[in-house]
Structure 1
Amino acid sequence: MSTVSGRGASSPRELTRVGDRVSFLYLERCTIHREDNAITATDADGVTHIPSATIGALLLGPGTRVTHQAMSVLGECGASAIWVGEQGVRFYAGGRALTRSSRLVEAQATAWANRRTRIEVARAMYRLRFPEDDPSSRTRQELLNMEGRRVKECYRREAARTGVPWRRREYHPGDFTSGDAANQAVTAAAQCMYGIAHAVVVALGCSPGLGFIHSGHERSFVLDIADLYKTEVGIPAAFDAAAQGDEEVGSRTRRALRDRINKVGLLDRCVEDIKHLLQHNGSPVPEDEADQVTLQSDGNRHIESGRNYGHAPAAADAAWEEPIW
């Protein structure tokens, strides 16, 4: 095999730039291996080289085999590996992505743990969906009703725009082909959007399970984020694909969704929206602090880890700790 890339390992600061990556790549019936800092996909047609640092989420479909070295380079590059069903319509498992800083997940946990701030974040999510309306005085039930009407109106609007017949949303878990073309396309788009949102959430170091609108599921926060863009990105792409016929709706939906994601710059928006929602200032982690671990002391002080602290420091004693153990 030829050498694809001789670049060194990316720094943590570079790896957090998920907004600059390809949104997702779906592979099936192939063997995935590593060559230098790239992964390779080998099937009956030969070997395809894929720069691993350019992928947001790698969707591994049926018939895929992945080596330890391939998973290693994906982890080093901060790419999510997600095992999915046929044509990417079901999520089975996800691989851990690289995270160096805990600042965002701490902000998320702090906001989630307080009932007042939890609903404030939920209202901020609805404010992104309804910029012309102020949700600050609305109850959760009122917000859910507003969202339901918004999605139904989106279905009607996209059906009229594309000429695709639409009766109602139907989804049958485990039976993708039971719905009509429009419902199959919406299902495929939703699953892809969940995978993309999951990739961004994990790459930023957030907890997928601490949701502010959804609750009780290991991907509650992922569903929160993906739903922010379904009427702008996911549903229109689904109806565009369904308008082209009933055959291979799933694959056409993924391609239409990929193009729309790139057009609107969704990954970059997703990163900024998550930081905004969690009231993070968005400043990049300094290069010399990106891999720093500290210990919490009194008065909300953070002191260097990896050392033994055997006595209380004097007022001006800055060297009271023992050497690294």
Structure 2
Amino acid sequence: MRASERVSFIYLERCTVHRDGNAIIATDERGVVHIPAATIGALLLGPGTRVTHQAMTLMAESGSTAVWVGEQGVRYYAHGRPLGRSSRLLDAQARAVSNRDSRLAVARAMYAMRFPGEDTSSLTMQQLRGKEGARVRRSYREHAERTGVEWTRRDYDPNDFEASDDVNKALSAATTCLYGVAHAVTVALGCSPGLGFVHTGHDRSFVYDIADLYKAEIAIPVAFDVAAADVDDIPAVTRRQVRDIVYQSKLLPRCAGDIKQLLLPDDDDVPDFDADVVYLWDDRGEAVNSAQSHDADYDYEVPW
């Protein structure tokens, strides 16, 4: 089944995942659910899941991927294989990030997603960063006024979580959740987490790029809501609220669609990421089929 015909993501938690014929079965105290393996794009395995060897074998045979995540996919821990067998998105990502003009075009497209209705096509990276900084500061002020939470600035120590005030603790927890979502989707699609367009020099640069698309929409309002509620366990409450928004807003398939749009903006059709075809690179043009002899392609004289 083509990637376009599959369920993008299925999330499971607190169950045993096994195989029954060509179906993945999830069993818990409520009963058994059968999921045809070929219909799954990515299986997100949350807390409390146990997976058998046969289940993973079936996932591999059907071209699906398994991603181990936190509750509702808000944290990424590890992954099996990409959703599809095609490297088309990864190739597009590598091509775009390796050229200054195409990299700038993708970066502008990312900022355009944050500034709907505004033309970002001629702005420099310095101008884009300035607009984004102003937008985020404005978002902080607006939510501080909305919730009555005192706000000075973003201030946190990555090595000392408790040193921050309540709203900065909540912001750190909410942002970490978004990084988990973005990382899970990135690896499920076969993209490289490290090839970023706005961020660079880190093994999660692209993850930070994608997570920033949703930070002002999700992480900031949740953080101020949690800080205003004066709860005892800020990280846990923040993670649950982000989890609920991720589920309700269908952020996972939306994130997958945004990545495809950024890397393959000119494709009218959904690419066939499940195509199990290997090509040979050719320096003269299009790639050639690897499943045949190419002796006739050589036009040189043997020197002996």
TM range (shorter): 0.7 to 0.9
For structure 2, the 5+ residue unaligned runs are 300-304
Structure 1 residue 221 displacement after superposition: 0.8
Structure 2 residue corresponding to 1:95, chosen from 74, 79, 84: 79
CA distance in 2, matches of 1:67, 1:56: 11
2:280 equivalent in structure 1: 295
Establish whether residue 78 from structure 1 lines up as the match of residue 65 from structure 2.
yes
CA distance in 2, matches of 1:188, 1:204: 25
Establish whether residue 35 from structure 1 lines up as the match of residue 1 from structure 2.
no
Establish whether residue 191 from structure 1 lines up as the match of residue 176 from structure 2.
yes
For structure 1, the 5+ residue unaligned runs are 1-10, 315-325
1:156 equivalent in structure 2: 141
CA distance in 2, matches of 1:104, 1:301: 17
Contact 1:124 1:277 in 2 (8 A): yes
Structure 1 residue 226 displacement after superposition: 0.5
Establish whether residue 107 from structure 1 lines up as the match of residue 97 from structure 2.
no
CA distance in 1, matches of 2:161, 2:98: 37
Structure 1 residue 124 displacement after superposition: 1.1
Could you tell me which amino acid in structure 2 is paired with residue 81 of structure 1? W
1:261 equivalent in structure 2: 246
Q: 1:89 to 1:77 in 2, by over 3 A?
A: closer
Q: 1:110 to 1:57 in 2, by over 3 A?
A: same
Structure 1 residue 141 displacement after superposition: 1.6
Contact 1:107 1:278 in 2 (8 A): yes
1:4 equivalent in structure 2: none
2:3 equivalent in structure 1: 13
Q: 1:77 to 1:174 in 2, by over 3 A?
A: farther
CA distance in 2, matches of 1:122, 1:155: 23
Write out per-residue CA displacement over residues 89-113 of structure 1, whole angstroms, 9 at most, x where no aligned residue. 987x533432311111111111111
Structure 1 residue 229 displacement after superposition: 0.7
Structure 1 residue 264 displacement after superposition: 2.6
Aligned pairs for 1:194-209 within 5 A? 194-209=179-194
Q: 1:55 to 1:166 in 2, by over 3 A?
A: farther
RMSD: 3.5
Aligned identity (percent) is 42
2:228 equivalent in structure 1: 243
Structure 1 residue 117 displacement after superposition: 1.0
Contact 1:210 1:221 in 2 (8 A): yes
Could you tell me which amino acid in structure 1 is paired with residue 3 of structure 2? R
CA distance in 2, matches of 1:313, 1:260: 58
Structure 1 residue 301 displacement after superposition: 3.3
Please, what TM-score do these two structures have when normalized by structure 1? 0.73
Could you tell me which amino acid in structure 1 is paired with residue 115 of structure 2? F
2:302 equivalent in structure 1: none
Q: 1:306 to 1:106 in 2, by over 3 A?
A: same
Please, what TM-score do these two structures have when normalized by structure 2? 0.78
Contact 1:238 1:257 in 2 (8 A): no
Establish whether residue 179 from structure 1 lines up as the match of residue 169 from structure 2.
no
Which has the higher mean CA deviation after the structures are superposed, 291-300 or 219-228?
Answer: 291-300
Structure 2 residue corresponding to 1:145, chosen from 122, 126, 130: 130
Structure 1 residue corresponding to 2:259, chosen from 271, 274, 277: 274
Q: 1:296 to 1:81 in 2, by over 3 A?
A: same
Structure 1 residue 298 displacement after superposition: 5.8
Q: 1:104 to 1:253 in 2, by over 3 A?
A: same
1:318 equivalent in structure 2: none
Q: 1:224 to 1:306 in 2, by over 3 A?
A: same
2:120 equivalent in structure 1: 135
Q: 1:186 to 1:16 in 2, by over 3 A?
A: farther
Contact 2:59 2:65 in 1 (8 A): yes
CA distance in 2, matches of 1:56, 1:67: 11
